[in-house]
Amino acid sequence: MKKLVSAAICGAAMAACAQLLPGEGVANDHATGSNPHDVVFVARGAGNGYGYRAYETAVGLTILPWSCPNFESSVKGVRINLGWGSYAATRGFDSGLFSNSGDFCGLAVNLFGNYASADATGVQIGLVNVATHATGLQIGLVNHVESLAGVQIGLLNFAQSQWSIPLINVAW
């Protein structure tokens, strides 16, 4: 098990370093150092002006608002949240303080809550759970979706596409 965890951490670190390779990079020459010719190459993803490269990784780590590898990447595997950073998509197990993702599929257990700006499929457990379209189960103090195909269990449940009731809300 120890070797498996070490391999996962090494894989995530190598994936994070991929965004600093000069292969498809752009030169950044701000001339703020002691040598005005210092140049840093940063890989740039398609359609993105921030110098990040989007890709998939097996392990995602969020510390405060920073996501490693980066916010345009997708996690397919395990995601640990020690803050509130974001990923383009998350597939698998997601746990920690707060989860923010585009699409989500899997099991999310976060203390403060889960936010999926697009589709959430599976189980979301947290104080506040929010998704645009949810398929599956939401368990929390407050649950909110635009459309629901599943069950919400919480003190306040909101589903804009149908009637919402406190404690248990079911829609198919």
* 136-148 pLDDT per residue, tens: 999 999 999 999 9
pLDDT at 4 over 60: no
At residue 114, the pLDDT reads 96
Give the model confidence (pLDDT) of 120-165 as tens digits. Answer: 999 999 999 999 999 999 999 999 999 999 999 999 999 887 777 7
Sequence-separated (6 or more) residues with CB below 8 Å from residue 38: 29, 31
Pair 123, 116: CB distance under 8 Å: no
Query: Cα 138 to the chain's mean position, in Å?
Result: 17
Query: CB of 62 within 8 A of CB of 82?
Result: yes
Residue 19, pLDDT above cutoff 60? no
Q: What digits encode the pLDDT tens for the residues 55-103? A: 788 999 989 888 888 888 899 999 999 988 789 999 999 999 999 999 9
Q: What is the mean pLDDT of the chain?
A: 77
Domain spans of the chain, in order of start:
2-171
CA distances from 4 to 56, 59, 96 (A): 19, 12, 20
